[in-house]
Structure 1
Amino acid sequence: MLHGRVAMITGASSGIGAAAARHFAAEGAAVVLMARRAEPLEALAEEIRAAGGRALAVPGDVAESKDVARAVEHAVETFGHLDAAFNNAGYATAGRPLHEIDDETYERTLDVNVRGVWNCLRHQIPVMLASGRGGAVVNTSSVAGTAATGASAAYVAAKHAVIGLTKAAAADYGDRGIRVNALVVGATRTEMMAQVLQQAPELEETFAAASIQRRMADPVEVARAAAWLCSDRASFITGAAVPVDGGATATH
Structure 2
Amino acid sequence: MRIARFSTDEGMSFGVIEEDSVAAIAAHPFGELRFTGERFALADVRLLAPILPSKVIGIGKNYAEHAREMGGEAPDEPVVFSKPSTTVIGPGETVAYPEKLSQRVDYEGELAVVIGRMCREVPAARAAEVILGYTCGNDVTARDLQQRDGQWTRGKGFDTFCPLGPWIETSADPADLAITTMVNGEVRQDARTSLLIHDIPTLIEYVSQVMTLLPGDVILTGTPAGVGPLEIGDEVSVTIESIGTLTNRVVSRE
TM-score, normalization: structure 1? 0.28
More strand by percentage: 2
More helix by percentage: 1
TM-score, normalization: structure 2? 0.28
